[in-house]
Amino acid sequence: MTTSLWILALSFWLHMIATVVWLGGLFLMALVVWPGAARALGCGRELHSLMRTLQRRLIPLAWLSLAVLTATGLIQMAANPNYEGFLNLSNSWTLAILLKHLAVIGMLGVGSYHHFALIPLLERGETLRAAGRDFSEADRLYRREVGVIRVNLGLGVLVLLFTAVARAVGQ
């Protein structure tokens, strides 16, 4: 099956936009916003409130980006002459793509843990704190959150590395 040039071009364009949104958001949060806001606001309620507000805006964009990346990635993979079938590792391109997809799966796992486990714990703790109750785990959980964001960013960098390898060996 051949893919139309326009469909493939649209797929590449949307894939790049989704990559910039997903990885750019992680990069910005991990290396710019979080450290800068921590320096300006200290490690108190104001910092955590700011981070929750930003995450409420960024997380839906990240999930939308993931959906776009999945759809456009499938189109691109099917159109690539190096693709020889599901889990067929007969060339360097397919190995690079497999490693890329494993890194993406790692990002999904880390991102899901962050979104569905860690953020609810932090929000519950902030609710306790606002009610005047003890939230002694706060510092440990916020440090874990920064670590999780950085791990996810590291996995994103690996995704870009494996994409570059696939492009280089697929020429």
Could you list the pLDDT tens digit for every one of the 171 residues in the chain? 566 889 999 999 999 999 999 999 999 999 999 899 989 988 777 888 898 899 899 999 999 999 999 999 999 988 878 777 777 777 898 999 999 999 999 999 999 999 999 999 988 888 888 888 887 887 788 889 989 999 999 999 999 999 999 989 976
User: What totals of helices (H) and strands (E) does the chain contain, helices first?
Assistant: 6, 0
Does residue 3 contact residue 73 with C-beta atoms inside 8 Å?
no
CB atoms within 10 A of CB 109: 12
What domain range includes position 103? 5-169
Count of structural domains within the chain: 1
For residue 157, what are its two tokens? 């960098």
CB 94 within 8 A of CB 82: yes
Tokens of 134: 């003890």
Rounded Cα distance between 21 and 91, Å, is 30
